[in-house]
Amino acid sequence: MQYNNFMINLRPHHILCTRFFNSDGYSKDFILHMGKIVALLNEPDQTVNLVLNEDDVCLHCPNNKNGCFWKEKVNRYDAAVLKKLNLKVGELKWKNTKENAYSKIKKTEDLAEICGDCEWFSWCGSQLE
């Protein structure tokens, strides 16, 4: 993985994906890569760069071939996260971003507003109940 001083490029909806990650995923390569990203996010004073395109999580996603296969859907998820968390793209302190997400997305209904049609929704939603 290549990061600028551990700066992680992250799509807004991946704030939620990293929260609910449980070592399951699209492929073994994806799972290992996502585990590394989650570990880096737990580093003290970690910053993230919110972006509206393929990010560091997407690097090993099998749905990312010449761009995201689910582009329209994930763009909708990103917009919903930005609105719900009142965020803008750019550099953010991960700790503050994470706390913001945890405080505003507490119930399954909150999550459903953002990504209720995601294939992982039932797993993530069950973690909120």
Q: What is the enclosing helix (H) or strand (E) of 83?
A: helix 71-85
Q: What is the enclosing helix (H) or strand (E) of 100?
A: helix 94-104
CA atoms within 13 A on the CB side of 23: 1
- Domain spans of the chain? 8-123
pLDDT tens for residues 31-79?
A: 999 999 999 999 988 999 999 999 999 998 888 888 888 899 999 999 9
For the whole model, what pTM was predicted?
0.91
pLDDT of 29 above 70: yes
pLDDT of 2 above 70: no
Q: Which residues have a Cβ under 8 Å from the Cβ of 113 and sit 6 or more positions away? A: 80, 84
Residue type for position 43: E
